C-alpha cells in the first residue's frame, strides 16, 4: 500500500515478480520440448544406443512419456531415417484404423534418428543424408565419427583429432573408462551406469566442442563432434520436474 506521498514500500515485490517471470519466459523459450511430449528415437546401432537410451529414460523417470527407441533396418544412415519416417506413417495409419494400443501415443511430437557419420562421409553421401532427413522431417542426432564419441564426452572434454573411425573411438572410450567396453549387450549394460552418472557433463562438453569448431570454422561434420546433446536436452525438458536435471 502507498503512503500519503505515493511511496510504495513493497515496490520491490512487483519488480522481483516481473524479473522472475521474464527469466521463466526466457528459459521456456530455450526449451526443446515440453512436459509430456512424445518421442520416436530410431538408432543406427542395435545394442549400445538402445541400451543407453533405456538407462537414460529410467534416470529421467520418463515412465509416463511415450518414447519408442528402435534400431533402424541397416547401418546406412539413410535407412535409419527411412525407418523413422515409415514408423511415423505406420503409426498414423494404425491411429486412423483405431488399432493403437491404450498405452500408445496418438502421435509423436519429436522424431529423431541417432546416426554415425563416419561411413556416410567416407562414401560421399553425407549431404544426401542431411537432405533426406529434412525431406522426411526427421531430426538428426549424429556423431562423428560415431556414437562412442558422445560416450567419451561423458568421461572427458576432448577434441582429440585421432578419432578417425569407429574403432579408434571405441578404443578411446575403453581407455577412458579403464575397463572393458564393447558393443556386446552384456558389457554395455555393465558399463552404462557409469555413463548415467555423467550425462549432464557430456551435454556441457558437447556444447563446448561445438563452440570450438565454430570458432575454428571446421567443415561439417566436424571430427570429432556430436549433435546428440539436443536430443538429450529435449528428453530432459519433457521429464517431470522432480527428475529433470539442470543443464
- 153 located within any domain: yes
Distance CA 245, CA 247 (A): 6
- 23 located within any domain: no
Q: What are the tens digits of pLDDT across the range 43-63?
A: 988 889 999 999 999 999 987
> How many structural domains comprise the chain?
1
- 216 located within any domain: yes
- 16 located within any domain: no
- Nearest partner of 110 among 78, 86, 132, 88, judged by Cα: 88
- 27 located within any domain: no
Pick the range with the lowest mean pLDDT from 26-30, 115-119, 224-228: 26-30
Q: What are the tens digits of pLDDT across the range 120-165?
A: 999 999 999 999 999 999 999 999 999 999 999 999 999 998 998 8
Range of the structural domain that residue 179 is part of: 34-238
Degrees (nearest 5) of the Cα angle 56, 52, 33?
45
- 212 located within any domain: yes
Reported pTM: 0.85
Is the omega angle on the peptide bond into residue 236 within 30 degrees of 0, that is, cis? no
Q: What are the tens digits of pLDDT across the range 66-100?
A: 667 777 666 789 999 999 999 999 999 999 999 99
- 229 located within any domain: yes
- 8 located within any domain: no
What confidence score (pLDDT) does residue 139 get? 97
- Contacts of residue 218, defined as CB under 8 A and 6 or more positions apart, other chains included, come to 225
Amino acid at each position: 500500500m502507498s503512503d500519503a506521498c505515493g511511496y510504495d514500500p513493497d515496490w520491490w515485490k512487483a519488480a522481483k515478480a516481473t524479473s522472475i517471470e521474464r527469466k521463466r519466459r526466457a528459459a521456456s523459450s530455450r526449451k526443446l520440448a515440453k512436459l509430456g511430449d512424445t518421442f520416436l528415437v530410431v538408432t543406427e546401432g542395435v545394442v549400445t544406443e538402445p541400451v543407453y537410451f533405456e538407462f537414460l529414460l529410467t534416470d529421467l523417470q520418463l515412465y509416463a512419456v511415450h518414447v519408442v527407441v528402435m534400431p533402424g533396418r541397416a547401418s546406412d544412415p539413410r535407412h535409419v531415417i527411412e525407418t523413422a519416417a515409415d514408423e511415423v506413417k505406420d503409426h498414423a495409419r494404425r491411429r486412423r484404423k483405431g488399432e493403437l494400443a491404450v498405452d500408445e501415443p496418438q502421435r509423436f511430437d519429436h522424431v529423431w534418428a541417432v546416426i554415425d557419420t563416419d561411413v556416410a562421409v567416407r562414401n560421399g553421401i553425407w549431404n544426401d543424408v542431411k537432405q533426406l532427413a529434412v525431406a522426411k522431417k526427421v531430426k538428426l542426432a549424429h556423431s562423428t565419427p560415431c556414437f562412442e564419441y558422445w560416450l567419451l564426452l561423458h568421461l572427458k572434454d576432448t577434441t582429440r583429432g585421432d578419432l578417425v573411425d569407429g574403432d579408434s573411438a571405441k578404443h578411446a572410450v575403453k581407455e577412458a573408462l579403464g575397463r572393458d567396453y564393447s558393443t556386446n549387450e552384456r558389457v554395455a549394460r555393465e558399463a552404462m551406469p557409469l555413463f548415467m552418472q555423467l550425462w549432464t557433463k557430456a551435454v556441457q562438453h558437447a556444447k563446448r566442442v561445438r563452440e570450438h569448431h565454430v570458432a575454428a570454422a571446421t567443415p561439417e561434420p566436424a571430427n570429432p563432434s556430436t549433435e546428440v546433446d539436443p536430443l538429450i536436452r529435449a528428453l530432459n525438458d519433457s521429464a517431470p520436474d522432480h527428475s529433470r536435471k539442470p543443464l
